[in-house]
Amino acid sequence: MEAKKIKLINGTVIPLVEDDIDTDRIIPARYMKGLTFEGLGDYVFYDVRHTDVGEITKHPLNDPKYRDADILLTGKNFGCGSSREHAPQSLLRSGIKAIIAESFAEIFFGNASTLGLVCITLGYEDIKTLEKIVLETPSEKVIIDIDLKKIIYGSITTGFSIPESTRGSFLNGSYDSLYLLLENMSKIHQTESELEYSFHIEK
């Protein structure tokens, strides 16, 4: 198994520049009853994308202009509230590959990064500038270069913030815990064999 390295995100943007978007808004609790995360993408932001009687709202995720967009642009403290990992799972499964925010809730950021959902931060003015460009030209391509820590949109190139440990894990693929487990299986077997009370692990 080869590590899936993430060095570049190249896509279009959904503008949802609001502060304090919590995990219950991202994925309502009633859609978290399954034993797996399959199908969660269908319910991302469900309660703000539909009225109480099920009618479609004018939410950006319902706008045909952003149907194929895979980068979410938002505001401060994104992913606050409960620590449910279903929130980043639902975003990833809906097609979102990266989130640009002014700041993230710490637990959400950690859960998202472990999935390979790239979360980067920009300052308020940069976010408003990008929002303006996206609203005027929804098809504008945005490039997030994780290696260079640069984001390119329109004629603008600027730096973004991301913890170096997280950035490094994307570049070398170590964010993927399954990959790390399989990569170190020989060491696991060695440790298991040295335990006084050993449990057999199938090779």
Return contacts of 129-138, CB within 8 angstroms, 24+ apart: 129/156, 130/13, 130/73, 130/100, 130/156, 131/15, 131/17, 131/73, 134/12, 134/13, 134/15, 134/73, 135/15, 138/12, 138/13, 138/65, 138/66, 138/69
Whether 179 maps to a domain, the answer reads no
The arithmetic mean of pLDDT across residues 174-191, rounded, is 71
Q: pLDDT value at position 35?
A: 65
On the question of pLDDT at 198 being above 60, the answer is no
Q: pLDDT value at position 20?
A: 97
Whether 92 maps to a domain, the answer reads yes
Residue 39's pLDDT band, with cuts at 50, 70 and 90, is confident
Whether 115 maps to a domain, the answer reads yes
Whether 188 maps to a domain, the answer reads no
Residue 51's pLDDT band, with cuts at 50, 70 and 90, is very high
On the question of pLDDT at 1 being above 60, the answer is no
Whether 201 maps to a domain, the answer reads no
Whether 131 maps to a domain, the answer reads yes
Mean pLDDT of the chain: 89
Q: pLDDT value at position 2?
A: 60
For the chain, the domain total comes to: 1
Torsion of CA 72, 93, 4, 116, to 10 degrees: 50
Whether 152 maps to a domain, the answer reads yes
> 95 is in which domain, residue-wise?
8-174
The CATH number of whichever domain residue 90 belongs to comes to 3.20.19.10
Least confident of 47-56, 127-136, 159-168, 170-179: 170-179
Q: pLDDT value at position 189?
A: 66
Whether 147 maps to a domain, the answer reads yes
Residue 159's pLDDT band, with cuts at 50, 70 and 90, is very high
Measured from the Cβ of residue 29, the count of other Cβ atoms closer than 10 Å reads: 11
